[in-house]
Amino acid sequence: MVVDDHPLLREGIAAVLEGQPDMLLVGEAVHGREALVRFEALRPDVTLMDLQMPEMNGIEAIRAIRARWPGARIAILTTYRGDVRALHAIKAGAMGYLLKSTLRKELVEAIRVLAAGKRHFPPEIATELAAHLDSDCLTEREIQVLQCIALGMANKEIASQFNISEDTIKGHVRGIMDKLGANNRTHAVAIGIQRGFVGI
């Protein structure tokens, strides 16, 4: 089953699978909520799930499906390489992580690996995950502050929004920059977007 809100991507995957004698596209869904309903009806061997979708995102959908069907084999299908998203997807129960730029041959091989009950993570994703597993993760508040910085808010505005002192916000900003190895606020936002802490 393919879950993605872009019809062209779903059609492209359908075309790739059509030529495979051992594969059959049993269903499609355009968002996480629909994916739950379709999964219950179809029980696909492998599900390819987009991350960014309306109504219910891919990570929430994976969590919901795996809660009811722990053996579900689901791979994230995304354009994003951010390691934080990959970690969230793995924690939610994803067994694979495929970039939408994946070549046809790699996609087919990944589906076979997942169908056999094994995990599939491309080398570049595995490398990024390994590089960040031992680094300090941002706290929930630091992520909120970083998102405010990305919106162009000053420390005073951020302090007002969270009803805390400006000094506390400055402390959070220092913590964010230390953990991300950033030179300044703009650099911190750029790293935050690259690693998936901040959505764009």
DSSP label of 79:
S
Q: Please tell me the distance from the alpha carbon of residue 87 to that of residue 132, in angstroms, as a whole number.
A: 10
What are the structure tokens assigned to 63, written together?
Answer: 């969590």
**CA torsion angle for 54, 27, 38, 110 (degrees, to 10)?**
-80
Whether the Cβ atoms of residue 23 and residue 111 lie closer than 8 Å to each other: yes
- The predicted model gives 98-118 an average pLDDT of 89
pLDDT digits (tens, 9 = 90+) for 28-45: 999 999 999 999 999 999
Length of the chain: 200
pLDDT over threshold 60, residue 27:
yes
pLDDT digits (tens, 9 = 90+) for 158-200: 999 999 999 999 999 999 998 888 899 999 998 888 777 887 6
CATH code of the region 2-132: 3.40.50.2300
- Of the segments 54-58, 111-115, 124-128, which one has the largest average pLDDT value? 111-115
Whether the Cβ atoms of residue 49 and residue 77 lie closer than 8 Å to each other: yes
- The predicted model gives 92-118 an average pLDDT of 90
pLDDT of residue 135: 55
Q: Tell me: domain 140-195, CATH 1.10.10.10, correct? A: yes
**Structural domain boundaries of the chain?**
2-132, 140-195
**CA torsion angle for 9, 11, 13, 15 (degrees, to 10)?**
-150
pLDDT of residue 82: 65
Whether the Cβ atoms of residue 51 and residue 74 lie closer than 8 Å to each other: no
pTM, entire model:
0.69
